[in-house]
């Protein structure tokens, strides 16, 4: 302690911090000059409860109809929610969703034609956020609402099915649903297809490939991602059509995620090193890049390289703090790295401040 106080030694290891804290009988976070801030689990529970309440409100059973927002204003609100999500501002999205869901449900109940696209998009972004928060059952409810509202419109069905793939990543049977939606929107001639059609079809093939990887089917995952790559070349990077962020770089990121799902860390690490040097990397939404960095951290852990796992996770935290601090998978990876005796001080400090070690 004398050496630490005099600056001769620094608190560089989580294990050292814990040992000194145990001897002094204080919380480890106190040695970092701050109060412990465990988890935020209560806040997340409250956030999810608000979204659940909004999803449970049925406009059709109200005695007194509430006013309906003009279509252009409703579209702006939905667009703003998507923008906040793609910038990984998840607490802001949580604030927006309860009133947004009420507004789109009200409009859709009064005028299904005019409110259809808005309600599908609102349920899509809701499902995407709930997947991030690891609320699978509620995410399934949101995406089911999106699919029901989209029925009969092949473009809207394809849009909703992209989130269906995210929600049902662990369900092998989801692959057939995704492929049906993909080939329904696919152009008969790839060279003649519009970028919108190719983006939706390609994004669905990516989701189907990731479902295949999660179920351990390496061959199918590779074939589906190869097929998506053919479409991606025709779309190019930096377009984000239908909120898919689809393009050649997005497909390469999916290959990394697939390798991680298959437990092949060294392959995932090699692909990660290549993809982040592509010009299209910085054209992807912040949320997409940060989520990939968490996948890369998992890959480095699989490759028994905790130092580089810590490095890319800190990159993710700088890029999009909520992706690490609020997303369960990000917190799990952080905790796993912090438990390593060689974990750098910054990782240890972050984990301790979140009450993870």
**Helix or strand holding residue 18 (H, E):** helix 14-24
The pLDDT score that the predictor gives to residue 72 is 86
- CA 223 to chain CA centroid, nearest Å: 24
33 token code pair: 């000059």
The pLDDT score that the predictor gives to residue 67 is 75
Residue 166, judged by CB atoms within 10 A of its CB (0-12, 13-18, 19+), counts as: buried
DSSP 100-159: HHHHHHHHHHH-HHHHHHHHHHHHHHHHHHHHHTT-HHHHHHHHHHHHHHHTT-HHHHHH
Residue 178 near residue 162 (C-beta atoms within 8 A): no
Query: pTM for the whole thing?
Result: 0.86
The pLDDT score that the predictor gives to residue 39 is 45
Q: Select from 260, 321, 328 the least CA-distant residue to 295.
A: 260
The pLDDT score that the predictor gives to residue 36 is 45
Each of the 357 residues of the chain gets a pLDDT tens digit; together they read: 677 666 656 555 555 666 676 676 666 555 555 444 444 555 677 888 989 998 887 755 455 566 778 888 999 999 999 999 999 999 999 999 999 999 999 889 888 888 899 999 999 999 999 999 999 999 999 999 999 999 999 999 999 999 999 999 988 889 999 999 999 999 989 999 999 999 999 999 999 999 999 999 999 999 999 999 999 999 999 999 999 999 999 999 999 999 999 999 999 999 999 999 999 999 999 999 999 999 999 999 999 999 999 999 999 999 999 999 999 999 999 999 998 887 888 898 899 888 887
């Amino acid at each position: 302690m004398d050496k630490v106080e005099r600056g001769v030694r620094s608190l560089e290891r989580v294990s050292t911090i814990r040992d000194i804290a145990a001897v002094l009988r204080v919380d480890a976070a106190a040695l970092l000059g701050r109060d412990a801030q465990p988890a935020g689990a209560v806040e997340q529970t409250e956030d999810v409860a608000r979204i659940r309440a909004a999803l449970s409100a049925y406009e059709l059973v109200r005695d007194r109809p509430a006013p309906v927002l003009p279509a252009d204003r409703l579209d702006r609100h939905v667009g703003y929610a998507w923008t906040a999500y793609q910038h990984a501002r998840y607490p802001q999205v949580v604030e927006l969703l309860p009133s947004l869901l009420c507004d789109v449900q009200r409009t859709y109940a009064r005028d299904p034609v005019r409110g259809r696209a808005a309600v599908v998009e609102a349920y899509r972004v809701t499902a995407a956020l709930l997947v991030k928060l690891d609320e699978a059952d509620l995410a399934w409810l949101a995406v089911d609402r999106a699919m029901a509202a989209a029925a009969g419109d092949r473009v809207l069905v394809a849009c909703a099915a992209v989130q269906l793939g995210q929600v049902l990543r662990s369900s092998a049977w989801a692959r057939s649903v995704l492929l049906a939606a993909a080939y329904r929107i696919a152009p008969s001639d790839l060279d003649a297809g519009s970028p919108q059609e190719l983006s939706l079809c390609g994004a669905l093939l990516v989701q189907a490939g990731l479902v295949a990887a999660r179920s351990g089917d390496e061959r199918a995952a590779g074939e589906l991602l190869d097929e998506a790559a053919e479409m991606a070349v025709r779309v190019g990077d930096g377009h984000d059509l239908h909120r898919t962020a689809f393009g050649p770089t997005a497909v390469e990121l999916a290959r990394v995620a697939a390798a991680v799902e298959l437990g092949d860390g060294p392959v995932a690490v090699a692909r990660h090193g290549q993809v982040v040097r592509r010009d299209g990397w910085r054209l992807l939404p912040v949320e997409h890049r940060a989520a990939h960095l968490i996948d890369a951290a998992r890959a480095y852990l699989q490759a028994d390289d905790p130092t580089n796992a810590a490095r890319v996770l800190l990159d993710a935290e700088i890029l999009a703090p909520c992706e690490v601090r609020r997303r369960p998978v990000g917190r799990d990876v952080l905790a796993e790295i912090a438990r390593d005796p060689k974990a750098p001080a910054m990782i240890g400090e972050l984990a301790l401040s979140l009450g993870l070690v």
